[in-house]
Structure 1
Amino acid sequence: MLRITAGKLAGAMRGALVGNSTRVAAVRSLHGTEESAEEFDKRYEKYFSREGIDGWEIRKGMNDLLGMDLVPSPKIVEAGLRAARRVNDIALAIRWLEGCKYKCGDQMATLYPYILEKVTPTLKELGVPTLEELGYDKPELALKSVYDQ
């Protein structure tokens, strides 16, 4: 008796969950329009270039970008660096570079040098050192692995 009741309850729950998730997906696809890459870049450049932006808003924008499934374009990286420098937060600028570097994932050997090449004039202009100049590109106290020969 308990097994039959539990089976019916599980079937009803499954139907309710599947029905709700399809409705939610349909509603989400109806909201908003698709945004091109250029529009996306301009939106975040404009966000970081706003007059009177504070450190919290800069961190919020950077965190949102790093949470997305993309690597920020060099224009956005430059805008973020300029915003961090405007609020005189060099640590934020360095962390932004570090976040962008690790966002490259398995393409770090190709994407990060490209970003760094495009952003280097801005880094020099703002006086922000790169991770390599600071020695943050390799661990400070790491020991050699016993498996390396």
Structure 2
Amino acid sequence: MAAALTILARERGGPNIARQILLMPMLDDRTPAPDPHIAPYLVWSYDDSRTAWPALLGDSAGGPDVPPTAAPARLKDATGLRAAYIEVGQLDVFRGEDTAYATKHSGAGVPVEFHLHRGAPHEFDSIGFTSDVARRAIADRVRVLKSL
């Protein structure tokens, strides 16, 4: 929702968004083929994504006419979007789409802080909130929020 709102605000000329803060975001309605390397560690599965996107988009999910305000990975050009903080776990279904989204922003000159948390599944911060990786991620989030 935060990514889509940022795109919509750019298209409409406002309101001004301070920063995109995207935590393990689900961005692409075109669910990829399962990655067997992460399959045993999934908290949110590929099947979950194949259920969620049609719940939002109906029959258009995965089709050619989905706008980036519904599925932000469909964005062609990130020029003019606000700076982004993006984080995802290495063992997360969203890893590929989040990495690609960060790269798209960076390639358009949008400042990006991107964290790929080694060995972490989706919602790692809720599952192991006292783990080192969760503490580091939360500290980064607080730092980014305080910088606004």
* Superposition TM-score, scaled by structure 1 size: 0.29
Higher RCO (CA < 8 A, seq sep 6+): 2
The structure richer in strand per residue is 2
The structure richer in helix per residue is 1
* Superposition TM-score, scaled by structure 2 size: 0.29
Greater CA radius of gyration, 1 or 2? Answer: 1
